[in-house]
Amino acid sequence: MNQSIDASRIPELQEIVALALDEARHAGADQASAGVSLAKGLNVSVRLGEVETLEYQRDRSLGITVYFRQAKGSASSADLRPEAIRAMVAKACAIARHTARDEFAGLADEHELARDIPELSLFHPWDISPEQSIELARSCEAAGLAVDKRLTNSEGASVSTHQGVSVYGNSHGFLHGFPSTSHSISCALLAQVDADMQRDYWYSAARNPATLENVQSIGRRAAERTVARLGARQIATQRAPVLFAPELARGFWRHLIGAIHGSSQYRKSSFLLDAAGTQVLPSFVQMQERPHLLSALASSPYDDEGVTTRDRDLVRDGVLQGYVLGSYSARKLGLRTTGNAGGIHNLLVSSGPDAPDQAALLARMGEGFYVTELMGQGVNGVTGDYSRGAMGFWVSGGQLTYAVHEVTIAGNLLQMYRDVVAVGSDIDTQGTIHTGSVLVDGITIAGA
């Protein structure tokens, strides 16, 4: 049997999905959808030059959802043999027969499904052995520890590589699949002077291993970030501008996406309830979803329901253009699916062609707090109240002056979004949301 995890497995997986759907049809289901995936991965971590973990995974899974007059049942299995598939379908059907009907349940409408599937360059396997992975992790950590003698310890360096192939099909005749990969390298170090101990990290993630950052530069970046935190102090409670580093700005925008998600809207549990068509950000801010970027980590030709993913403006000139919807939430709201079952695909946040770089943002801020780490989960999605522990650097005269820790930043997201001053050109593309640093005016900083 073919043991590879690549596009060559798609015909085999399509047969498995087709069998599951056929079994559901014979059992009397009005509609059904099924998805199957195969995946393998290698994870290596090294601490102080010694191997801490060496993990190899090989997984497979199959799931089916059936509808009997809008009563829903689901089941899953890791056994892909025909008899196991039949048993799984029978369980899903039994569940559906004991479930209440939901007038909004069912497959995505047939005309919404993807028909022309673009090639998005999502599959770039990394031909690397465990021994090579270990050496890369060691080199990464060693490069970091060599930067400064105050780097006295390490949480380790890791190398991960994963590849998989999945197929989704439903009773509307949709049956497609594609392979994908993801890879990452990371390093976390500790520095100490007397009783002052600080930690920081750096990482790189990509679908294509050729575009990963060099392991030595990852280690050095982790080292520089860690050493820069030494001597961290508290600051007095005050109200001041706050600049979120790009990797943290992703989370800042993720709260907005959560608030305009279909489930938050129909449950009326959002601080941006019924906000479509209203000004939620300054007029210079644009948010564009671009699901077909080649090799991007969140690219996909279709969503979890097989619906075509399309380019769209989510925020134009600061005005919210719509919500993030799958077919169920769209029906609940009397709207059309946006192809976002399973989430958004490459959200690009920008402030136009003249976006400032980080140095210009610091100069514009003058004095304030540059945040490089957030802690805690103090965000209320219903009210927008925001309160999180933070670490970073105090900025004075447009320059980083000293490290700051043990403070809390607090406000309300509705006002914080209105108070965005700029989005930087230092864009981080290592996630679902592509954004630069975000400068927000006048946030409460609770310190000493």
Domain boundary among 170, 193, 228: 228
In a domain, 12, yes or no: yes
Domain co-membership, 268 together with 396: yes
Q: Alpha-carbon distance 17 to 368, whole Å?
A: 56
148's tokens: 């400064």
In a domain, 25, yes or no: yes
We report the CATH number of the domain holding residue 212 as: 3.30.2290.10
In a domain, 2, yes or no: no
Integer angstrom CA distances of residue 317 from 250, 258, 275, 288, 423: 19, 20, 15, 11, 13
The domain total for the chain is: 2
Helix (H, G, I), strand (E, B) or coil at 406: strand
CA angle, 340 as apex, 203 and 245 as ends, to 5°? 30
Alpha helices in 234-292 (DSSP H): 246-259, 262-266
Classify residue 295 as exposed, middle or buried by CB count within 10 Å of its CB (0-12, 13-18, 19+): middle
3-state DSSP percent of the chain in helix, strand and coil, to 5: 25, 40, 35
Sign of CA dihedral 270, 272, 276, 281: negative
Domain co-membership, 46 together with 128: yes
Domain boundary among 170, 204, 228: 228
Domain co-membership, 109 together with 30: yes
Domain co-membership, 216 together with 249: no
Domain co-membership, 261 together with 146: no
Domain co-membership, 256 together with 138: no
Domain boundary among 209, 228, 247: 228
In a domain, 361, yes or no: yes
Domain co-membership, 432 together with 394: yes
pTM across the whole model:
0.94
Domain co-membership, 130 together with 243: no
Domain co-membership, 222 together with 244: no
Domain co-membership, 203 together with 250: no
In a domain, 280, yes or no: yes
In a domain, 242, yes or no: yes
Tell me the pLDDT of the chain (448 aa) as tens digits.
457 899 999 999 999 999 999 999 999 999 999 999 999 999 999 999 999 999 999 999 999 999 999 999 999 999 999 999 999 999 999 999 999 999 999 999 999 999 999 999 999 999 999 999 999 999 999 999 999 999 999 999 999 999 999 999 999 999 999 999 999 999 999 999 999 999 999 999 999 999 999 999 999 999 999 999 999 999 999 999 999 999 999 999 999 999 999 999 999 999 999 999 999 999 999 999 999 999 999 999 999 999 999 999 999 999 999 999 999 999 999 999 999 999 999 999 998 788 999 999 999 999 999 999 999 888 999 999 999 999 999 999 999 999 999 999 999 999 999 999 999 999 999 999 999 999 999 899 998 6
Angle between helix axes 82-97 and 10-26 (nearest 10 degrees) is: 40
Range of the structural domain that residue 379 is part of: 238-446
In a domain, 325, yes or no: yes
Domain co-membership, 201 together with 340: no
